[in-house]
Amino acid sequence: MTTQLECNNLGFAYGKKPIIGGVNLRFNKGEFVGLIGPNGAGKSTLLNLLTGLLKPTSGHVNLVGQPLKQYKQRDIARHISLVPQDVSIDYAFTVREIVAMGRNPHLGAFQPETQRDRDLIDLAMSKTDLSQMTTRSANQLSGGERQRVFIARAIAQEAPILLMDEPTASLDLCHQLEVLSLVKALTESGHLAIAAIHDLALASRFCDRLVLLAEGKIVSQGSPAEVLTKENLYRYFSIEAEIEPYGDDEQSVRITAIRSCSADKSSTDKNSADKNSTDKSVDHLSTNLNR
Ligand SMILES: Nc1ncnc2c1ncn2[C@@H]1O[C@H](COP(=O)(O)OP(=O)(O)OP(=O)(O)O)[C@@H](O)[C@H]1O
């Protein structure tokens, strides 16, 4: 297995607020890895650290064996393409113009597109079902259509590592399946894909490995069946769920959410907070009695 991206003892804080702590991960060629975890767990922050958009406050990231901080931004873009969570567009670029930006890391300043660039742009648009809207202004598209434009840009970029932050969040079911099948096919041809993903059913179906983050730490990782256990779903996602094996490989699971347990958990937390404060009062009392 060839490691393409790794992080060692990675930590990050916004000001004094720690967000990511002590994260050690290796990502290999040909893998499709899902980053899962509740809101605010640190998934986007981790993706931004892996692309060099954020600088770690401790530890480091290696890209194909070299520290990421030694790369120029343009060289990183030849290795890594990012589909961001926010796909809003301020300027009225056409769909084709945005997809063509994927070729920028490969072109010199003012160098015109070659026939190969044009073919790659056309192919990326056709794979993402955008061929009928190449001249449309991207800021007039729906959220899901815009998300596909950014996925097409990443494909045109031809980088061997694809990082995606919620790539299917605004897509209808048909396009969710199409986009994830496309990413899966890319990994089968040797790409590494890492996606932050909220939909656990899709993560289970498409990813080879899941990394579960909570409060900026890895709390579980392995095959979908190893990570998506009833206990983890209760503890980290506050849901009671039924889990059944899915598919032939016994690595995927089907999840049926039964109910939200956040109310139970907050009353458990409150009880333990009450118990703590009772314990503290008892400690306080016994300390006073022992004086
Ligand atoms: N610019 C910022 N300044 C301060 N805190 C931030 C900033 N951006 C994010 N955070 C905090 O960092 C934590 C992790 O955020 P992050 O966006 O990485 O989580 P996430 O797992 O991607 O969440 P979600 O699933 O909701 O997208 C959160 O507590 C968030 O409030």
Q: What confidence tens digit (pLDDT) does each residue in 113-124 have?
A: 899 999 999 999
Q: Is the CB of 100 under 6 A from ligand 1?
A: no
Averaged over 16-26, what is the pLDDT?
A: 95
Averaged over 30-51, what is the pLDDT?
A: 96
Confidence of residue 291 (pLDDT cuts 50, 70, 90): very low
Q: Is residue 193 part of a domain?
A: yes
Q: Is the CB of 47 under 6 A from ligand 1?
A: no
Of 164-173, 174-183, 184-193, 243-252, the range with the highest mean pLDDT is 184-193
Confidence of residue 27 (pLDDT cuts 50, 70, 90): very high
Ligand 1 mean position to 31 CA, how many Å?
25
Q: Is residue 151 part of a domain?
A: yes
Confidence of residue 32 (pLDDT cuts 50, 70, 90): very high
Averaged over 195-221, what is the pLDDT?
A: 95
Q: Is residue 196 part of a domain?
A: yes
Determine the pLDDT at residue 101. Answer: 92
Determine the pLDDT at residue 267. Answer: 64
Q: Which residues constitute the domain of residue 141?
A: 3-224
Q: Is residue 25 part of a domain?
A: yes
Q: How far apart are CA 186 and CA 193, in angstroms?
A: 8
Q: Is residue 244 part of a domain?
A: no
Q: How would you class 155 by CB atoms within 10 Å of its CB: exposed for 0-12, middle for 13-18, buried for 19 or more?
A: buried
Q: Is residue 231 part of a domain?
A: no
- Nearest-atom number in ligand 1 for the CA of 198 is 25
CA 129 → CA 93, 117, 146, 153, 160, distances in Å? 18, 18, 12, 13, 22
Q: Express as a percent the part of the chain with pLDDT over 70.
A: 90
- Which residue's CA lies nearest to atom 5 of ligand 1? 14
Ligand 1 mean position to 145 CA, how many Å?
25
More confident residue, 39 or 284: 39
Determine the pLDDT at residue 249. Answer: 74
Q: What is the pLDDT of residues 67-84, one digit of tens each?
A: 999 999 989 999 999 988
Q: Is residue 271 part of a domain?
A: no
Q: Is the CB of 19 under 6 A from ligand 1?
A: yes
- Which residue's CA lies nearest to atom 24 of ligand 1? 39
Q: Is residue 229 part of a domain?
A: no
Q: Is the CB of 44 under 6 A from ligand 1?
A: yes
Domain count, the chain: 1
Determine the pLDDT at residue 219. Answer: 97
Ligand 1 mean position to 203 CA, how many Å?
21
Determine the pLDDT at residue 274. Answer: 54
Q: Indicate if the pLDDT at residue 135 is higher than 80.
A: yes
The answer to whether 81 and 5 have CB atoms below 8 angstroms apart is: no
The answer to whether 35 and 48 have CB atoms below 8 angstroms apart is: no
- Nearest-atom number in ligand 1 for the CA of 166 is 27
Q: How far apart are CA 64 and CA 84, in angstroms?
A: 22
The answer to whether 98 and 146 have CB atoms below 8 angstroms apart is: no
Ligand 1 mean position to 40 CA, how many Å?
5
Q: Express as a percent the part of the chain with pLDDT over 90.
A: 57
CATH (domain of 73): 3.40.50.300
Averaged over 193-205, what is the pLDDT?
A: 94
Nearest to 96 by CA among 66, 69, 136, 57: 136
- At 202, which helix (H) or strand (E)? helix 200-206
